[in-house]
A and B are shown apart, each in its own frame.
Chain A
Amino acid sequence: MSVVRAFQLPPSTESLGIELVSEPLGPPGSSPFQAATTATATPIVWPAFGRDGASGLLDALRSAKASLDRLPAQGIADKVGEVGERFGDPADAIRLEAEGRVALESGLSAASAGLVVDRVAREWSRARLASLLQADFPDPSVLDGFVRADNGDSIHAVGGSLSFHIGSGNVPGVGATSIVRSLLVKCPVLLKPGREDIALSCLFARALAEAYPDLGRAVAVVYWPRGRGGELETLALERAERVVVYGGNALVRDIRGRTRVGAAFVAYPHRLSVGLVGRELLEEETRARKVASDAAEAASAYDGRGCVSPKVIWVETGGRVEPREWASLLAAEMDRIESEAPAAPLDVASAATLQQLRGSSELAAAAGGENAVFSGSSSRWAVLFEPSPDRAIELTCPGRTVVVRPIDRLERVPDVIARVAEAIQSVALAAGEGRRAELASRLVDVGATRVTSFPRLAWPPAWWRHDGTAPLQALVRWTTLEP
C-alpha cells in the first residue's frame, strides 16, 4: 500500500524526528472521521519532533544560511529557476510525479492537476524569477551586500537566517512558491504546507536538494495537521526571524499571537476575487461567449478553491446579451470544463453550503424572483443568477460556483464592494479599453490590489504584488550604512 510522505528534510536532519506519525488520507476534503472509516484511505506520514530534534533541525537550517550568502541573489534565482523549469517540462519525470501526487493528495482530477502544475511551474522559471527579483529590487545586488543609494547611504536588504512559513489552504503550489521567495532573499526556510499542498512542496524541496545540495540544505518541509505541530512549531515560532502565514483569520490570529514580538510577521489571510463585465463586450454573442469561457476557466481553476477564482461577477445590463443570458453562457462553459477536467468531490462544509445556495435560489425563483440556478449533471459546479446587484456579498461560493449579478452601470460596483474591499483579492475587468483605466482607479479607491483580465485572473505572475505587498520586500529588513 502506498504511503504519502508528508515531509522533505535536509539530508543530515532526517534522523532528528523522534517518530513517524501516521494518519489516513481520506477522500479529498474528508474529515479525519471519514478518513478513518474509509477502507481505501492512504496513510500519510510525517515526523514528530522532540525539543532536541526540533532544535537540531532549526540549527541545521540556520547553518545553511552561509551557503546561501555565498551566492549572488541572481545566481540563486538561476538555480532555483532551473529546478522550477523541470516542473514545467512535460517530459521530465518529476513533472509526471508531481501531476500524479497533486491529483492523489489534493483530489483534483488528473486534468486539473496537470493544468495547475503547468501554470504554477511557469512562474518558477529562471526568466520569471529574474523578473520577480527585478520587480522587488531594481538592483538585486542589494541582497548581496551594501549598495550605494542616490542619497549617499549604502543599503543592504537582509533576509535573515531562519524563516517559518505556514500554509493551511488547499491550493497546490503555494508552499513551493513560498520556498522560492525565501531562497531569493537568502533565508533558510521551514515550511509547513497546507494539507493539499504537500506534494508540490516536498517535490520542489527534493528536486532542489538533488540538483543543488547547498540550496537544499536551507529548506525543510514538514506537514502536520493543525494544532499538532508540537515542539517543532513552538520552537520555530520562538526562533524564526520571519513568519509567513497563509490561511483563515483564526489561524492568522493564533500564529500572530505566538510569534515573538521581534519577528517580522507576514499574513496572507482569506481573500476572494470578483469579476466585472461591461456591456460593450456583450454586443455580439461570440465575444460574450469568449468572456464567459475565460471567466469559466478562472472559476474552475484549482476547483475554485483559490483566492484568485471569481466568486461574484457583475454583468452590465443593456448589451445585446443580457446578464441572465450571459449567466447561461457561463454555465455552458462551466459544464464543458467539468466534462474536460472534472471537479473533485467537495468537502462536507462546501457541499453543504452549495446545497443551501442552490436550494434557496431555486426557492427564491419559485417565489417569483428572477433568480436562476444553472447546473449540469454534476452537482459540483453551479452558476447562480441573483437579480439584486447591491446586496452585500455575504458568503463566497464553494468550489466551482459563481454568482452572476446584473448591474445597470459597472461604475457602481466599487461602491457595492467597498465595505468588503479588504477581502477582495483580484478584480477581473472585462470592459472596453476606454473604461478600464477609469474603473481601475475607482477600484483602487475601495482597496482593490489587483485589477486584471479573466484569462490572467487565476494565474498571477511570479512578480505579482501579493495582496498588495511586494512579496520579497516583505521578507527582508534593510540595513543602512550611512557615510
Chain B
Amino acid sequence: MADFEPRIVAFLCNWCTYTAADLAGTSRLQYPPNVRVIRLMCTGALDPVYVSKALLEGADGVLIGGCHPGDCHYQSGNYKARRRIAILHTILAQLGFDPQRVWLRWISASEGQRFADTVTEMVEHLRRLGPNPMRELPMS
C-alpha cells in the first residue's frame, strides 16, 4: 500500500474553483499531482452519472469544486449541485460504497492556496482509505 497513489477526478466550475486551480499553478503553489481536472461551467451542470462513472471505473476519489454558497455565477447552480451530491452520497452509502470518496468543496477564484490545501488533504484522506474497491472489477 506504500506505493499507492490515489487518483482523483475533479469537476471544477469555470468561474471559481477552476480559476483557483489556475491561480495555484501561476502562484507556483505545490500540491500532489494526483488530480485530473475536468472544467465545467457550473457544478449545477454536473450530472451524477459522470461522478458515478469515474468511481465505477476505479477513480479513488471525486472532487467537485464550485463557488461559495451565494456566489454562484448562475445564482443557484451550486445549491442545486449540493442537493444532487447529497442524493448521490445517500445512494452510495445505501449501496455500501464509502461516500467520503466524493468531496464537495467551495473554493473561490482567489483561493489558490485553499485549492492546493484541499487536494493535499484529499490525497491524504484517500491514502488512508486505500484504493477504490471497484478498481478490481472487470468494468461493471
Decide whether A and B assemble into one complex: no
Taking Cβ atoms with an 8 Å cutoff, the residues of B that contact A are none
Taking Cβ atoms with an 8 Å cutoff, the residues of A that contact B are none
